[in-house]
Structure 1
Amino acid sequence: MGRYMLTEAQRVVLEAAGSYVAEMPPVDKRASTKTARRLEAIRATGLSREAVMPMLAADGGTVDDRIEDHTLLAVHAGDDLVFPAFQFVDGVEVPHWGQVCPVVPHGDHRAISAESFMMHPACDLVIDDAEVSPVAWLLAGGDPGIVVRLARHAFHQYPAT
């Protein structure tokens, strides 16, 4: 048996879970490739520190504090940090982002999950009979507490009781 061969029992379990593939998909169809491309897109469209400082009316030290406090999301782009663009709309920070940001995933690859959560419509966020994304909800003046609760549920971060 080769180094990466599965036992029959392992194969059966994977098949039952719908996770078994007899042959690897082409490189461009693999989840790892799609993830790498999505992260590269976040980096490519991310904003520099210099760009976000005026949007936040903050200096570099305050931006660093917000990153450390998890009230602003940053990802590595080489030796620099960039700020995923979904946190800003029309040159300003999304309203109440500082309240929501601590409960979304942080870190380079986790930014993909955070962006997906914030940019896709949620069935619990409805404006004029239409489901909207958390970003659209917050821009429309929606209750940030609802978005925080949705994020905690989505990312399994429950407050201590």
Structure 2
Amino acid sequence: MSPALETVLAKAGLQVTPMEFLNLVAEAAKRLAPPHPEPASYFTPDQREVLTDVGLDLGPQTNTDAMPRARSIVALSVLRDTALTVAEAARQLQVDTSRIRHRLGVGRLVGWKDKGSWRLPAWQFAGTGVLPGLEAVLATVAQDQPALVVAAFMTTAQEDLLVDGTPTTPRDWLLAGGDPRRVADLAAMLGTPV
């Protein structure tokens, strides 16, 4: 296996072998989508007409679409690999596992079920606590938003969040003591048509 891949995985803090990582990528690729889906097949004729009338291209994907798909699969693999179990989150927060499950149930932590067990994305934790202002932010995120979308938002620099004149991620904004309401306002827009 490539020493370069081992180096990248180690620098990213992913505790998997290169073969395990590639297997995760292959598994996610099979599970997430066929290689070249035809978007039109997911809609009724009436829905297709409305969507094409507003300018959406429902034609089959081409090979040029492979890179964004690959990026999404890799991002999902990394999100899954770096996520904490309920027990790991409880240890980190120094609370009982029932408290973690309760926080998940009331939307004070983000998580998803993976083979029957909760997984909690690591971006929402800071030291022995949760990200400052997390509860205010999560209260504005629509329940139907996938964990990958929320993770991408929280870890992507936003033009509206400036620290020393430089756009910063919502996570870094909150860690720097920024107003959680600014992040909450942006998070409320997730999934909203622009």
Calculate the TM-score normalised by the size of structure 2.
Answer: 0.63
Q: Which moved more, 1:88-97 or 1:76-85?
A: 88-97
For residue 96 of structure 1, report the CA deviation from its aligned partner.
Answer: 1.6
Residue 85 of structure 1 corresponds to 122
Deviation digits for residues 68-117 of structure 1 (CA, Å, limit 9, x no counterpart): 1101011122121110111124454211212212222446x711110111
Residue 135 of structure 2 corresponds to 98
- In the alignment, structure 1 residue 67 sits paired with structure 2 residue 99: no
Cα 1:106–1:46 change in 2 (3 A) is farther
Supply the distance in 1 between the matched residues of 2:117 and 2:73 (Cα, whole angstroms): 18
Supply the distance in 1 between the matched residues of 2:130 and 2:179 (Cα, whole angstroms): 16
Cα 1:27–1:46 change in 2 (3 A) is farther
RMSD: 3.3
Q: SS where residue 72 of structure 1 aligns?
A: coil
Q: Is the 8 A contact 2:142 2:190 kept in 1?
A: no
Supply the distance in 2 between the matched residues of 1:44 and 1:106 (Cα, whole angstroms): 23
Supply the distance in 2 between the matched residues of 1:91 and 1:56 (Cα, whole angstroms): 5
For residue 14 of structure 1, report the CA deviation from its aligned partner.
Answer: 3.3
Q: Is the 8 A contact 2:86 2:101 kept in 1?
A: no
Q: Is the 8 A contact 1:28 1:34 kept in 2?
A: no
1:136-155 to structure 2, matched below 5 A, reads 136-155=172-191
Identity of counterpart residues, as a percentage? 24
Structure 1: gaps (5+ residues): 157-161
Cα 1:119–1:52 change in 2 (3 A) is same
Residue 42 of structure 1 corresponds to 79
For residue 16 of structure 1, report the CA deviation from its aligned partner.
Answer: 7.0
Supply the distance in 2 between the matched residues of 1:36 and 1:106 (Cα, whole angstroms): 22
Q: Which has the higher contact order (CA 8 A, sep 6+)?
A: 1
- In the alignment, structure 1 residue 114 sits paired with structure 2 residue 114: no
- In the alignment, structure 1 residue 134 sits paired with structure 2 residue 170: yes
Supply the distance in 2 between the matched residues of 1:152 and 1:24 (Cα, whole angstroms): 30
Supply the distance in 1 between the matched residues of 2:113 and 2:167 (Cα, whole angstroms): 32
Letter of the 1:14 partner, please give it.
T
Q: Which moved more, 1:113-122 or 1:55-64?
A: 55-64
Cα 1:44–1:106 change in 2 (3 A) is farther
Q: SS where residue 161 of structure 2 aligns?
A: strand
For residue 36 of structure 1, report the CA deviation from its aligned partner.
Answer: 4.9
Supply the distance in 2 between the matched residues of 1:18 and 1:68 (Cα, whole angstroms): 37
Calculate the TM-score normalised by the size of structure 1.
Answer: 0.74
* Count of aligned residue pairs for this structure pair: 149
Residue 14 of structure 1 corresponds to 52
Q: SS where residue 141 of structure 1 aligns?
A: coil
